Amino acid sequence: MKNSWIIARRELMERIKSRSFLFMAFFGPIVVLGITYSIFKLGGKEQQKWNVLIADKGQLFDNKIASREDPSITYSFINDYVEIEDFASNPKFKDFDALVEINHKIISNKAALLFYKEKPSFNMSVNIRYQVERRLEEIVATEQYKLSLRDFRSIKQPLTIGFRNVYDPYNTAVDLAGWVGLFFGAFIFLFIFLFGMTILRAVMREKSSRIVEILLATVSPKALLIGKIIGIGLSALVQLVIWLLVVSLGLYFFRQTIFIDFSDPSMLTAAMPSDYNQFVELVFDRINFVPMISVFAVFFVLGYLFYGAFFASLGAVSGSESDGQQFLIPLIALLLFALYSGYFVLMNPESSLAVVFHYLPFTSPVVVMVKFAMGYPPGSAYQLYLSAIILFVSAFLVLSLAGRLYKNGLLQYGHAVRLSTILRWLKRN
Amino acid sequence: MLLLQQVTKRFDRKMAVDEVSFTLDQGEIVGLLGPNGAGKTTLIRMINQIIHPDKGTIRFKGEIMTQEHLKHVGYLPEERGLYKNMTVEAHALFLGALRGMSKKEALKALDFWFEKFDCLDWRNKRIETLSKGMAQKVQFICSVLHDPDLLILDEPFSGFDPLNVELIQAELIAMKKRGKTILISTHNMKSVEEICDRVALIHQSKKIVEGKVAVLQEERKTGLFGLKFSGSMIGFVNALWTGFELVDKEELGDNRFLVKVRLRGDNTFEDFLKISLKEVKIEAAWEILPSMQDIFIQEVTHTTHQNETTHEK
């Protein structure tokens, strides 16, 4: 064990001092923050500014639209018909982005059309629809039915029957939380991939530089394997801690400065369906980061050990550096499949396949994160522990098999890897 | 110090080492010889516990050898490498730690060897900036840093210039004088003659010859004597008459010759010197012993031939 530690320490120091490590520690969190920022930002403030012309021959709108002004949309009124062709080509309409046609039949058929020149963004269309519909409601209610707007709206409100999970009657576990789980799971696999590749390269380099023979004369192959995986794993943890620190600092900064007003109820768009509000709220208020990060840490470590053993074995059995590539493809496919399984579970949380994925060591790190973020039903938290135990045992088994491959493969150079050779090495102890 | 008893290793269908036994006593340098693919590296790897024999035992200081004993063993493999992006010192400390040395001990030993090999300024150089010869010196230092009782060297002289071969040889002899035991696997027969006390010759996975270098040479001597002289060749040949047979002659120019002569009848080396002295001016005279190279080739071809004929039968 002492020797494993010496090996691990050397690996750790080598990684931490390397330029790529520093590069990743610096740019990784910035990329994550950038993505988060753009999700917040693009889902939120409207970048487009539109001039909308309302052709209202009957002056139904009375040249009014909303009580409050929307900075991104300017409405103009024309009390006449406008032909579409005219609107499209006449230079006098060139400043307008869209035309809303209101005719007198609208009171009875309750339908109007908007003609656009360029397709509006989702948010823009939501905003215009909302504002025009509200104004129409106002007209219909007061003009036709002589109702107060309040009564009209209370009548208009649909009767709905909601479907709720009996274990989660308040529906706190929204799908979005599951997305955050998937995000964490994807994070685990990103790190497994990056540092798995580091293991692979480190083992191959040791083989090709022949240092491995000197090492094997002092440590057992198993101690070498464990030392290597632990050393690189520790460097991954250091990297991860840096990421977590920088990202949480960044999020805190976002909250304090840029996205401070998002939950302000006086916002014009507050009543409207909008992605970013949920997302920002989710990140800042809904996720319980402490248990999330604890589960993340456990499955990160176990998942890394499990997959790390595969990468190390691959390095050990490869005859040359290019040789490992062909066997790398199935391994990457496996990682991608695991990511997909997370998405699958997010979409079909109750399916029987989801249960399989939840316990399968190849997929459990990401699936558990999704499930955990969505929330386990009360009384079934044991599922989490069971999955962790299965992953732990599998990691242990894979590590001991990897030890055999390591022992038999490390001193072989320049051969072509065949599955039959690998199986023979696995059998030979 | 080291005792191998009927050590056998087989890789799938191929026999790599077949019932090889030999001993290494404390304070001797033993050469492990054999053509490529004879099984030397496998044997060395078994001593180093990198692979384990299918049959037979390896004892170190009387005990069955285990990983624990490797702290007292130094190993310089033939296929050797270093971590390219580490500094010389960090590398040496790392390998020292794996051999159970504390940082303080390793630094002290490193000082000693750096001074000895006159490379004090390499300490903080990265391995990748070293020349091949420099890297080999570092590898040698790393293998002796923990002052091992048994040093195993696989082709230690390959890649060294003659000056450094001298240096390493001198160091090995000094270590031997301090009671260290050294096993050298090499194709460099000149070094074998110069520093090895004994040799073991492995061929086709079996040990075919073992013994002291002097004894092996003595056993295989051909009864030939060499003489370098200046004077008349005709006179010399006449003087040989029937008592001696001229086997080979070479003209060195300027009336100087080198001859090989076999004694006939009861004639001795002294008799040969006496008759020669009368005719020519002797520059040098010696008994021709087979070189280790000759013994190696002779034994290997002999065994191969023998095996082939048994095979044919």
A3 reaches B (C-beta below 8 A):
yes
What does the pLDDT read at residue B186? 86
Chain A hits for B138, Cβ within 8 Å: none
Tell me the per-residue pLDDT of B34-82, one tens digit each, with 9 for 90 and over: 888 888 888 998 999 888 899 999 999 989 998 888 889 999 988 778 8
CB contact under 8 A, B49 and A14: no
Nearest CB among A7, A10, A210 relative to B79 is that of A210
Mutation to test the A interface, candidates B43, B58, B71, B79, most A Cβ within 10 Å: B79
The closest of B130, B303, B310, B86 to B209, measured between CA atoms, is: B303
Check if the beta carbon of residue B245 is closer than 8 Å to that of residue B224: no
What does the pLDDT read at residue A306? 93
The closest of A235, A151, A236 to A187, measured between CA atoms, is: A236
d(C-alpha B71, C-alpha A9), whole Å: 20
Question: What single-letter DSSP state applies at residue A158?
Answer: P
List the beta bridge partners of residue A56.
Answer: A102
d(C-alpha A230, C-alpha B255), whole Å: 76
Check if the beta carbon of residue B29 is closer than 8 Å to that of residue B199: no
CB contact under 8 A, B77 and A210: yes
CA-derived radius of gyration, chain A:
30
Mark which residues 153-182 of B lie under 8 Å from A by CB: none
* Global confidence as pTM: 0.72
Max intra-chain CA distance, chain B: 74
Nearest CB among B12, B84, B142 relative to A209 is that of B84
- Segment B153-157 shows an average pLDDT of 88
Q: Which residue of A has its CA nearest to B86?
A: A14
Secondary structure element (H or E) that encloses residue B32, with its range: strand B29-33
d(C-alpha B166, C-alpha B145), whole Å: 20
A421 reaches B (C-beta below 8 A):
no
DSSP of A126-149:
HHHHHHHHHHHHHHIIIIIS---H
CB contact under 8 A, A213 and B99: no
B263 CA to chain A: closest CA distance, Å? Answer: 52
Residues with Cβ < 8 Å from B240, sequence gap 6 or more? Answer: B246, B261, B275
d(C-alpha B4, C-alpha B9), whole Å: 13
Nearest CB among A18, A209, A411 relative to B81 is that of A209
Chain B hits for A228, Cβ within 8 Å: none
Nearest CB among A7, A206, A214 relative to B75 is that of A214
**Quick count: other Cβ atoms within 10 Å of Cβ A106?**
17
The closest of A163, A306, A235, A275 to A13, measured between CA atoms, is: A235
CB contact under 8 A, A209 and B48: no
Residues with Cβ < 8 Å from B174, sequence gap 6 or more? Answer: none
What does the pLDDT read at residue A361? 93
CB contact under 8 A, A3 and B79: no
| Three-class SS state of B111 | helix
A408 CA to chain B: closest CA distance, Å? Answer: 9
At CA B93, angle to CA B87 and CA B94, rounded to 5?
90
Chain A hits for B50, Cβ within 8 Å: 213, 216-217, 411
| Three-class SS state of B200 | strand
Secondary structure element (H or E) that encloses residue A325, with its range: helix A323-347
- Segment B149-154 shows an average pLDDT of 92
CB contact under 8 A, B50 and A209: no
The closest of B223, B180, B218, B217 to B296, measured between CA atoms, is: B217
Torsion angle of alpha carbons B162, B166, B171, B174, nearest 10°? 160
**Quick count: other Cβ atoms within 10 Å of Cβ A363?**
28
Mark which residues 3-22 of B lie under 8 Å from A by CB: 12
| Three-class SS state of A295 | helix
What does the pLDDT read at residue A235? 92
Edge-to-edge order in the sheet of strand B73-76: B73-76, B150-154, B181-185, B29-33, B198-203, B206-212
Q: To 10 degrees, what angle do helices A323-347 and A175-208 make?
A: 170
Chain A hits for B86, Cβ within 8 Å: 10, 14
Q: Select the highest-mean-pLDDT range: A54-63, A124-133, B96-105, B203-212.
A: B96-105
A129 reaches B (C-beta below 8 A):
no
Query: Could you tell me the pLDDT band of residue B176, with boundaries at 50, 70 and 90?
Result: very high
| Strand A113-116 versus strand B73-76 pairing type | unpaired
pLDDT-above-70 percentage for chain B: 99
Could you tell me how many CB contacts below 8 A there are between chain A and chain B?
A: 60
- For the record, the structure tokens of B45 come out as 């790897």
d(C-alpha A370, C-alpha A347), whole Å: 10
What does the pLDDT read at residue A67? 64
What does the pLDDT read at residue A203? 87
d(C-alpha A147, C-alpha A151), whole Å: 6
B135 reaches A (C-beta below 8 A):
no
Residue pointed to by tokens 């080509």: A89
Mean pLDDT (10-residue bins), chain A, 429 residues: 89 88 88 81 63 86 75 85 87 88 81 86 78 83 82 76 64 65 87 90 84 86 90 91 87 71 40 46 67 88 92 83 74 91 85 89 91 79 90 92 82 70 74
- Segment B165-172 shows an average pLDDT of 89
